[in-house]
Amino acid sequence: MKRINLLLIAILSVAPLFGQENDYEHKSITLGYSNTGITVGNSARTNGIRFNIRDRYVEKINGINVTLWYPNEDENPDAFINGLAIGLIQSHAATLNGVSVGTGFSGNKVNGFHIGILGGASGESFNGIGIGGLGIGSGGSLSGLVVGGLGAGSGENMTGIALGGLGAGSGENMTGIAIGGIGAGSGKNLTGVAIGGIGAGCGEDMRGLAVGLIASGSGKNVSGIIVGGIAAGAGEDVRGVGIGGLAVGSGKSFTGISLSPGMVKTPGYTGFAAASYVNVDQFTGLSVAIFNNVKELKGIQIGLINYAGNNRGLLRVLPLVNAHF
């Protein structure tokens, strides 16, 4: 009789260490108290360590979440993980504050560190460090460091560093550094550095450095340095340095220094230009070329043939040196 009583006491004393969820969506068992401890199954809320095959309708996990199979994102609209998410195939959380490790990860908001064999993505924002074998980034904003075997970046604004085997950058504004094997830059404004194996630059205004094996520049204005293996320029104004293998130019004006074995072409130029052919409407400064072709000159031309359209008579075309002040 005493042995039976002792056994009952032992069972009752251990019973609080086990918890269960038995509703249709959340079947699980927990070694611990309530939702705190080690959980196996699809629990909605866990404080501790949780093991599950495939997450569905997760609410909040504080601790470590280990999953096997790719979850249906529609079935995890509010999943919130604080801690470590390990996905053997892929893990998902609407919001992750912490670290995710595995084949891949997807979420709406990621704050922390992610490393994935294939990659990782966030729909709204990524703040932290991300490394993906294929690609890594955010459909919304990104702040931090991302490295992708193929691509890295954001669909909206980016602040930080993006390194991609093929491409890196942002769909809107970028402040930081983007380096891509093929292309690097931003769809709107760029403040920082963009280096691309083929092209680098931005769709609107650039402040900083852009280097492309073929071309570099911006759709509007440049303040800084642009270097292109073939061409470097801007759709409107350039203030800084332009270096291009075949051409350097701008749609409106260039202020600074340009160097090209080929041509420098822009409506207005102020500064120093060196090329085989300088073709400018209004030039103020020093131009060194084989053929200088300027309609209105305020400065000096040095070259084989020098044309200054605002000089008179024979002084319009001179060999070696021409000038107008």
pLDDT tens-place string over residues 106-126: 888 999 998 988 888 888 999
Task: Give the pLDDT confidence score for residue 320 in this predicted structure.
Answer: 97
**Percentage of the chain modeled with pLDDT above 70:** 92
The answer on pLDDT for 94 being more than 60 is: yes
Q: Give the pLDDT confidence score for residue 28 in this predicted structure.
A: 85
Chain mean pLDDT for the chain: 90
Instruction: Give dist(CA 134, CA 197) in Å, integer.
Output: 18
Predicted confidence at residue 4, as pLDDT, reads 43
Higher per-residue confidence, 106 vs 187: 187
Please check whether residue 49 lies inside any domain of the structure: yes
**Is residue 263 over pLDDT 80?**
yes
Over residues 285-321, the pLDDT tens digits come to 999 999 999 999 999 999 999 999 999 999 999 999 9
Q: Per residue in 123-171, pLDDT tens?
A: 899 999 999 999 999 999 999 999 999 999 999 999 999 999 999 999 9
pLDDT at 35 over 90: no
State residue 9's pLDDT score. 38
| Residue 318, in any domain of the structure | no
> Which of 183-215 are b and which e, b meaning 16 or more Cβ less than 10 Å from the residue's Cβ?
bbbbbbbbbbbbbbbbbbbbbbbbbbbbbbbbb
DSSP state of 8: H
Domain membership of residue 302 (yes or no) is no
| pLDDT class of 6 with cuts at 50, 70, 90 | very low
The residue range of the domain holding 32 is: 16-111
- Region 68-88: mean pLDDT is 84
Q: How many separate domains does the chain show? A: 1
Distance CA 5, CA 86 (A): 44
User: Is 277 contained in some domain?
Assistant: no
**What average pLDDT does range 217-239 have in this prediction?**
98
pLDDT category of residue 22 using cuts at 50, 70 and 90: low
Residue 99 lies in a domain: yes
Q: Does a structural domain hold residue 106?
A: yes
Whole-number pLDDT of residue 107 = 84
* pLDDT confidence of residue 177: 97
Report helix, strand and coil shares of the chain as percent, to nearest 5: 5, 70, 25
CB-based contacts of 243-252 (< 8 A; 24+ apart in sequence): 248/273, 248/275, 250/222
Looking at residue 306, its pLDDT comes to: 98
- Say what the pTM is: 0.83
Is the pLDDT confidence value at 181 over 70? yes
Q: Is the pLDDT of residue 220 over 70?
A: yes
Give the rounded percent of residues in the chain with a pLDDT score beyond 90. Answer: 75
pLDDT score recorded for residue 23: 57
Let me know: does 201 contact 226? Beta carbons within 8 Å.
Answer: yes
248 inside domain: no
Residue 228 has pLDDT above 60, yes or no: yes
The whole-number average pLDDT for the span 13-23 is 47
pLDDT over 90 (residue 254): yes
Closest to 164 in 3D by CA, of 140, 194, 190: 194
